[in-house]
Amino acid sequence: MKPETSTPSSTISFFELFTPKLLTVLREGYGLTQLRSDLMAGLTVAIVALPLSMAIAIASGASPAQGLYTAIIGGFLVSALGGSRFQIGGPAGAFIVLVATTVQLHGMDGLLLATILSGLMLMLTGFLRLGTYIKFIPYPVTVGFTSGIAVIIFASQLQELLGLDPERAAPGPMLEKLPFLWDHLPSFNTPTLVLSLVTILLIVGLKKLRPHLPGMLIAVVLTSLAAGIFALPVETIGTKFGGIPSSLPRPGLPNFGWDKLLAVLPSAFAFTLLGAIESLLSAVVADGMTGRRHRSNCELVAQGAANVASGLFGGICVTGTIARTATNVRAGAHGPVAGMLHAVFLLLFVLFAAPLASYIPLASLAGVLAVVAWNMIEKQAFSTLLRASRGDAAVLLSTFLLTIFRDLTEAIIVGVALGSILFIHRMSKTTAVARHVPLVPEDKADGPSSVRQPYDEQTSADPDVVVYRISGAFFFGAAASVAAVLERISDSHRALVIDLSAVPFLDSTAANTLEGLARKAKRRGVKVSLTGTTRDLRKELFLHGLKPPLVRYEASLEKALERHRLILRDRHDKTFDSGASPRNSLGARPNA
């Protein structure tokens, strides 16, 4: 297999850059075998998406039907037009706070208008090729706002989990919500609390005992049956929303004027920012699981089209969903057809089984969202960043707390600003302490041949071992570009040596990037070694999981090359003796 070459973006035509992955998959050849894989994956994802879509919509201040419309219309277009093979679009828990706030401030028409405007902004962002800049957000900021959103989601469900005073909704701000819930705690409803706890226990228990079963759907079905059989006095979708229509609504623009348009612009901007971050994060997760690479700008254009269509059909915000995308990959999806079929299966439910949803207790859906909120918190990453350094901890906690008690957009802006200040501080510290390692290497004259290291042509010509040298500060601004190059290199080699001797420092985003690359290389059978690491670099890398046997640390580049060549020579001899092709034993795949 020939290594994939990098083509400058300026030489790629517009149509090549924005060609949906669906066309790429169809050009590869698509038959009954691939359709069967996508059919099963699409059904699996639809089973997961069904209760989630309704639960997220209800928590957002919309109706359960709107959640299904979002998953059907938005999910279909994200898969059909997107730049990721495995992305699943639909309503996401991360949007609950923003959507609920928009509904409270501007009404349902304001939400639909903001969703459509957000779609147009996302399309413009993609067409202007600004998707790459989304990757400049520091890792602590991403972990911080995601965990903060999870806390808000859980707090928003406490009223439904406990069955508190259903005649009055809890206030939105956290500092007002918690005293309200405490004052109304004596009014909790025992059957509601029991149903919520049973739902959570069923989901958690099934995930541990039978992880391949759709735990959320099973929990919702069983608790709905229990509520109906025992005639429990709990609120259901039917009692609160009057059920779900057995058809899709006709598309149309919401009622709006110039004043309303200006009023919802901040919400539309917040939808755009969060939608871009979430969708590209989800695409990166799919890349890490499959070894494929998405096209970020094409993905943003698809997300924009999906949001415009969702708003026209009465749906809410659409974005790439990490959990459903991961489920799609694990279920054996071959390409975007799986995501399109997931939308078709949800449409069939609306057309033929919508009346059954009327019997679902709201407490069961609240239990589902409680589990979703717990899973959203990146507990390991949160703990690692708190221990990594005071700077990373400050960025993480600032973003986390501002998300909970202030505003998501404000939290992201402050987090990025603090991350930039932290980078400048580390640059100045590095310049003062390690002056012999410049941040940007300067030109030098050739020294005497007696002190110059002789050039080893095998280092660059070896088809199995590749060496990549990183020079300068390796931080969140450079992490995405370095990761893209390293992934292309590791596609066609058996061993990857990363020389960090010219790196004065790296931050948590860079360390997390290398850790993801190492795990992807391990799945492909590619050995990874790190050389030239200082004590401070190794401390940061170890905190983020870059430990043996995932990677190997060598004292020098020469020792790393010598070790890899000995290992590969032994492997080649064993493969040759067994009569197998050494190149076919790698399990590497071309990317699309």
Residue 131 pLDDT = 82
The pLDDT of residue 411 is above 70 = yes
Nearest residue to 38 (alpha-carbon basis) of 334, 342, 346: 334
Report the amino acid identity of residue 177: K
pLDDT of residue 305: 97
Q: Please give the pLDDT value at position 358.
A: 92
* 330-361 pLDDT tens trace: 888 999 999 999 999 999 999 999 999 999 99
pLDDT value at position 452? 46
Q: Phi and psi at residue 152, in whole multiples of 5°?
A: -65, -40
Residue predicted with more confidence, 573 or 66: 66
Question: Does the predicted model carry a pTM greater than 0.85?
Answer: no
pLDDT at 359 (0 to 100): 93
Over the stretch 468-511, which tens digit does the pLDDT of each residue have?
Answer: 777 666 766 556 556 655 555 555 567 778 888 777 778 787 78
pLDDT score for 570: 63
What number is the average pLDDT over the span 160-175? 76
Q: Does 164 score more than 50 pLDDT?
A: yes
Which range is most confident: 77-81, 415-419, 571-575?
77-81
Beta bridge partners of 496: 466, 528
Q: ∠531-535-539 over CA atoms, to 5°?
A: 95
Residue 162, pLDDT above cutoff 50:
yes
Distance in angstroms (rounded) separating the CA atoms of residues 7 and 260: 45
Evaluate if residue 460 carries a pLDDT over 70: no
Q: How far apart are CA 412 and CA 149, in angstroms?
A: 12
How many Å apart are CA 503 and CA 23, to the nearest integer? 41
Q: pLDDT tens digits, residue range 355-393?
A: 999 999 999 999 999 998 998 888 888 988 888 788 889
- Nearest-5° Cα angle at 323, 80 to 34: 45
Side-chain-side CA neighbours of 222 within 13 Å: the count stands at 19
Whether the pLDDT of residue 304 is over 90: the answer is: yes
Percentage of the chain beyond pLDDT 90 is 42
Q: Give the pLDDT band (50/70/90) at residue 228.
A: very high
pLDDT single digits (tens) 2-46? 333 444 444 567 778 899 999 999 998 999 999 999 999 999 999
Helices marked H in 291-407 — which ranges?
296-312, 322-330, 337-353, 362-376, 379-388, 390-405
**Average pLDDT of the chain to the nearest whole number:** 82
- What pLDDT, on the 0 to 100 scale, is given for residue 58? 92
- What is the pLDDT at residue 7? 46
Residue among 493, 443, 442 nearest 467 (CA): 493
Q: Residue range 117-135: average pLDDT?
A: 89
With a CB cutoff of 8 Å and minimum separation 6, the contacts of 561 are: 459, 462, 465, 467, 497
Better-predicted residue by pLDDT, 58 or 171: 58
Per-residue pLDDT, 280 = 86
Q: Which whole number is the average pLDDT over 580-586?
A: 37
| Structural element, H or E, at residue 468 | strand 465-471
- pLDDT value at residue 186: 85
Q: How confident is the model at residue 422 (pLDDT cuts 50, 70, 90)?
A: confident
Residue 580: predicted pLDDT: 46
Average pLDDT for residues 132-143, to the nearest whole number? 80
